[in-house]
Amino acid sequence: MSADSLQWGGRFHSAPDPALLAFGSSFDDDLLLARFDLQTSQAHVRALRGGGTIPPEIFEALVAALDRIAEEIEDGTFTAWARNEAFEDIHGAIDARVREIEDVAGRWLHAGRSRNDQIATTLALYAASRARDGLARTTSIARALASRARLALEKESVLAGTTHGQPAQPILLAFWLQAAAEPFVRSARRFAALAREAMEAMPLGSGALAGSCIPLDRTAAARYLGFARPSRNALDAVGTRDVLFACADAWATSCVPAARVAAEIVTWASPLFGYVRVGDASASGSSLMPQKRNPDIFELVRAGTQRALSDARAAWAASAAVPLSYHRDLQECKQSAIAAIERADSILTAFAHAFADIEFDVERMERYATAGYTLATDHADALVRGGLDARRAHRLVGERVAIAEAQERAFDASDLQALGEHLGVPALFAPLDARASVLAKVTDGSTSPEAVARALDALECELSECEASV
Ligand code: ARG
């Protein structure tokens, strides 16, 4: 890194230590911010022009140079050039390239601007763009899960729903898939709100912390970038990264439902369970055990989520130690937040691919849907509907479970008969198979086929509303 590539240095007597400059460089992480930083510069040039600070010919030359750099960023030549020069950050790199293209005009680019308001604006643009990407990603995962739910609903495929990992009550596979989809709808809603929030207040024109003595048309700049308005406190604007961190949170927390589904798939993919077959394209083998077929991608989704969460947490935590205004700590926070977002994106992409590649063994699910006395609650409910109090119903059915278990058999007509006696009827009317159990559910949001069909309609409506709100 040469001292020439820095945007400062006049008051120093000797060059900075190259090793320390390299330590302080955020250039590699900044590369994915390049196109947003360029937009920020285009906006600043408009603010300078609008404020009457630069004449038309300087304005035109700067716009043209920035346009050219945009092409160079697209085709990769800018990155190659900047890597060669080694810069402290993306701001210095773009500034240097502008001066290389337009020596005279280039010297005006940074007038009235600090890297502090520049990076804050660039990060807001990045956060808005990544929030929109997050909205698209979570919407598409929710839709994929919902359309698989619709297929499973046609067949009314059932399985033993669990709590504590133990057989609990029969549920529709469609209901399970809908449950997997719902958190992604909530994520989509959060991303939509964030995409709007990120474009609320534009930091550009805040200078280093106090604003500028150079007239800047901040409204024109905000309009150019698509912000609702310029920020209203320069000190806050340069020192705050909360929308970026909220975006990192939204991405990392969107991986949590993927990780939880992945955890279930890992269990279900075991031949000991056999509910799921992971496709060849997403399974891995063992270097030693020839028979193995491992659900590695789902395991990586599970563990990767923890990394994304801790990167997002690290961003908030490091910023909590920083007083108001810009401090270089915010560069580290930026890197943690970007790491969380980019990692979460790759996790959700892999999850979506791998999930599309699994097959459910619905016969096997159905075979075990009533194992472990999953109909017991339906029997107790039937007694309560017949007029027995809930405590007594629970106890009586519990006793029948103990009897059937001792006889090593499932619930059958003999249990219905014995329970019927307590209501003074020949036999209790209650489901004796899993499909009858789900059909007997009467509440909204339940696992009954009608409730699931209604819920899927509502879920898809909400996704479209989220998309339309941005
Ligand atoms: N690379 C810095 C960051 O990411 C840009 C702002 C630098 N500002 C400064 N005063 N050193 O935060």
What number of other Cβ atoms are within 10 A of residue 383's Cβ? 23
Span from the CA of 330 to the centroid of ligand 1 (angstroms): 8
Alpha helices in 51-155 (DSSP H): 56-75, 77-85, 90-101, 103-106, 115-155
Q: What does the alpha-carbon distance between residue 313 and residue 255 come to, in Å, rounded to a whole number? A: 14
Question: What are the residue ranges spanned by the domains of the chain?
Answer: 15-111, 116-367, 376-430
Q: What does the alpha-carbon distance between residue 262 and residue 50 come to, in Å, rounded to a whole number? A: 53
CB 172 within 8 A of CB 364: no
Q: Which CATH superfamily is domain 15-111 in?
A: Fumarase/aspartase (N-terminal domain) (1.10.275.10)
Topology annotation, domain 116-367? Fumarase C; Chain A, domain 2 (1.20.200)
Question: Dihedrals φ, ψ of 43, to 5°?
Answer: -65, -40
pTM comes to: 0.95
pLDDT tens-digit series, residues 373-403: 999 999 999 999 999 999 999 999 999 999 9
Span from the CA of 297 to the centroid of ligand 1 (angstroms): 37
Cα torsion angle, 318, 320, 326, 327, sign? negative
Residue among 8, 40, 116 to mutate when testing ligand 1 (max atoms within 8 A of CB): 116
Pocket lining for ligand 1, CB < 6 angstroms: 26, 89, 115-116, 119, 326, 328, 330-331, 334
Sequential DSSP letters for 255-298: HHHHHHHHHHHHHHHSTTT-SEEE-TTT-B--SS-TT--B-HHH
Residue among 115, 333, 334 to mutate when testing ligand 1 (max atoms within 8 A of CB): 115
Q: How many CA atoms lie within 13 A of 426 on its CB side?
A: 1
Q: What is the pLDDT of residue 1?
A: 47
Q: What is the pLDDT of residue 4?
A: 59
Core vs surface per residue 180-203: b (16+ CB within 10 A) or e = bbbbbbbbbbbbbbbbebbbebbb
Beta strands in 173-215 (DSSP E): 201-202
pLDDT tens-digit series, residues 396-436: 999 999 999 999 999 999 999 999 999 999 999 999 999 99
Closest atom, ligand 1, to C-alpha of 89: 1
pLDDT tens-digit series, residues 241-287: 999 999 999 999 999 999 999 999 999 999 999 999 999 999 999 99
